Amino acid sequence: MSLIDNRFGSVRRPAHEVRIGSASIGGRHPVLVQSMTTTLTRDVKATVEQTLRLAEAGCELVRITTPTQADAACLEQIVSQVRSAGCSVPLCADIHFQPAAAFEAVKWVEKVRVNPGNFVDAKTAYGFQKEFDDSTYDRGLQKISDKFRPLVRMARERGVALRIGTNHGSLSDRILARYGDTPEGMVVSALEYLSVCEDEGFDQVVFSMKASNPKIVVQCYRILVDRLDREGRKPYPIHLGVTEAGEGRDGRLKSAVGIGSLLLDGIGDTIRVSLTEDPVLEIPVAADLVRTCVRPFADEGPIRDFHGRVLSSSSEGPRETVDPHSFSRRHTMPVQLGSSTIGLANPVRVGASPEVAATSAERPVEWLDSPSPLESGRALLRPRSAAEAAEPASWLASGTAVELHLESGWPLQEIAAALPASNLYLLSCDLEKDGPWGARRLVANFDHVGLKAPLVLRWSLDGSSGDELRMAATLGGLLIDGYGDAVCLDGPEPGRLLDLSYDLLQAAGARRSKAEFISCPSCGRTLFDLVTTSARIRAVTGHLKDVSIAIMGCIVNGPGEMADADFGYVGGTPGSVNLYVRRDCVRRGVPEAEAPEALVALIREHGKWVDPA
């Protein structure tokens, strides 16, 4: 079943099995949770201790940064001491820029990650804008074959798995020149390395396609999976992650949108949640995403929604009109609700009940959510049956906009066909039960008869573990696809629901309402303390509304992942920081103690600063 055919009720994508020491990724194995150490790799004692803490917390694979051959040599002691402690958790070496480090690491660990953007043909003297003619491009491919092939052979001989891990922030100049900084370029970069593996008969390969922007993450993985399928290649397992997700609720929401929505698509065999926090804190977040979002395999019974209700076959009824491989906002009719217009090109609106609205003084309630009388200016209609839903005479006569809350199991095409054309409709369904599949099916049936009604994304939080993450995965995934014209959350703690609604929209890239922070989770390459530094920068810039700031520990992904950021704060050398305006480094070697103030001055210089209220 292709991804397109899987959209009205997904099942888990069957993947080729890859063995990694005592664990397996793909096959029929559960989705594996992993994380990464933040210690200096040469500090063997600290790295071993953190590895053991991660394993004790439930981490099923630990990745260790290996920036140099000397760091890679330390893996022998690290592996020995971890195993001596009775811990069998598989270890993965993370390689950037240094092929020699990979050849050393493959001697000791069960998995090696290489980055196609910088393993061989990284940034060169050609420069970012250089055009590569066919012969120059082909020489780059030959260089990959010459330098990567020996590593593939060593991995095959030693039973070591390889992860081909493409990062949006570190594509090579050769790929950038031909494809730009695009999802297509990321996929092409990874498949160039896969071709060498397949030429050597090596299939112990895992893919990742990471970015700090969940929209790009989702698009890349979908394109990759579709291309592997279309080209008749093995369904290699997929490692999901949103890199530089940040910290706190923002980091969790962004991870849920990017990772959880793909799990709901049926894609993903291992995940890592990247938070600017102690890596042990990543594990329960990842475990909740796996528990609440992973889909069953096709042969495990009928396709079911979140509450176990059987979903209809995707072959029934009209097809989805949204292209899952690219983002565009779904076109809808405008519906007027008081002073707010929902749909068309208007921002995704945030609604709230009077109880929730009364708790907030900071962010606006754009329409008051009152589910009862028509005279209130809108009404949420929950028809008791499909027949009642198809009889609009009584409520259309009032001329008041209404929200039809429909069951996805009803004959939606018949209901839509029975309704007259009108710009008084809003649509919603029980996303807590129906999932994103119910919303897609509902919209497809109404779009099919020309009723381009706006969609309201509703969720009633129940306070259970993982419920907020599943909400973000469901609603965020729909928003990424261009579905959703209004968001309305209900549940306990009404004082936080309005902020949560706006934060969700920002995580999904649908609407910005506060400063955006892109911060990496730290690792052994990091040149300053990410947690304390991030807190310092947030303390002086967090009040800004229309600014995005990237806080990056090193240059591996820093400049590239800052493509969407207005300003960048990047570790340059120990004790100093480089400051960026978008991709351009404008100040180098700023002493770390002075760097936050220098960043504020830079923001002022570019007219983006606003004094705190």
Q: Do 503 and 523 have their domain in common?
A: no
pTM over 0.75: yes
Q: Do 252 and 347 have their domain in common?
A: no
315 lies in some domain: no
Check residue 242 and report its DSSP letter: -
94 lies in some domain: yes
Q: Do 239 and 340 have their domain in common?
A: no
Q: Do 414 and 561 have their domain in common?
A: no
Task: Say which CATH number the domain at 530 has.
Answer: 3.30.413.10
User: Phi and psi for 203 in degrees, rounded to 5?
Assistant: -125, 15
- The pLDDT value recorded for residue 526 is 67
Task: Report how far residue 534's alpha carbon sits from residue 543's, in angstroms, rounded to the nearest whole number.
Answer: 14
Q: Do 447 and 533 have their domain in common?
A: no
Task: Say which CATH number the domain at 187 has.
Answer: 3.20.20.20
**Which of 277, 300, 323 is the last residue in one of the domains?**
300
328 lies in some domain: no
DSSP 3-state percent helix, strand, coil across the chain (nearest 5): 40, 20, 40
The structure tokens listed for 46 are 């600290």
Q: Do 239 and 368 have their domain in common?
A: no
**Are 536 and 596 spatial neighbours (Cβ–Cβ below 8 Å)?**
yes
Q: Do 92 and 199 have their domain in common?
A: yes
**Which of 485, 507, 529 is the last residue in one of the domains?**
507
Print the domain residue range for 525.
516-605
pLDDT along the chain (613 residues), means of 10: 64 96 96 96 97 98 96 98 98 94 98 94 53 86 96 98 92 89 95 98 97 94 95 97 89 97 96 94 97 90 72 67 86 88 94 81 78 52 84 72 87 91 90 92 93 95 93 98 95 90 96 86 70 87 88 67 79 87 89 92 93 84
CA distances from 478 to 195, 255, 577 (A): 34, 15, 38
306 lies in some domain: no
What pLDDT digit, counting tens, does each position of 339-387 carry?
889 999 999 999 988 888 887 667 888 887 765 544 444 567 788 888 8
Helices (H) and strands (E) in the chain, counts: 20, 24
- The pLDDT value recorded for residue 375 is 40
322 lies in some domain: no
Q: Do 256 and 169 have their domain in common?
A: yes
**Are 40 and 46 spatial neighbours (Cβ–Cβ below 8 Å)?**
yes
Alpha helices in 231-310 (DSSP H): 248-255, 261-265, 282-293
Task: Say which CATH number the domain at 382 has.
Answer: 3.20.20
What pLDDT digit, counting tens, does each position of 230-250 carry?
999 999 999 999 988 888 999
- The pLDDT value recorded for residue 473 is 98
Q: Which of 103, 115, 24 is nearest to 61 (CA)?
A: 24
- The pLDDT value recorded for residue 517 is 87
Q: Exposed, middle or buried: residue 473 (CB in 10 Å: 0-12, 13-18, 19+)?
A: buried
What's the structural domain count of the chain?
Answer: 3
Task: Report how far residue 190's alpha carbon sits from residue 136's, in angstroms, rounded to the nearest whole number.
Answer: 19
- The pLDDT value recorded for residue 247 is 86
Q: Do 274 and 417 have their domain in common?
A: no
CA distances from 37 to 32, 63, 92, 197, 526 (A): 17, 6, 10, 28, 11
**Which of 278, 300, 322 is the last residue in one of the domains?**
300
307 lies in some domain: no
- The pLDDT value recorded for residue 334 is 95
Task: Report how far residue 304's alpha carbon sits from residue 10's, in angstroms, rounded to the nearest whole number.
Answer: 9
376 lies in some domain: yes
142 lies in some domain: yes
Q: Do 368 and 296 have their domain in common?
A: no
Radius of gyration over every alpha carbon of the chain, rounded to an integer in angstroms = 25
What pLDDT digit, counting tens, does each position of 66-89 carry?
999 999 999 999 999 999 999 999
Q: Do 52 and 75 have their domain in common?
A: yes
Q: Do 548 and 500 have their domain in common?
A: no
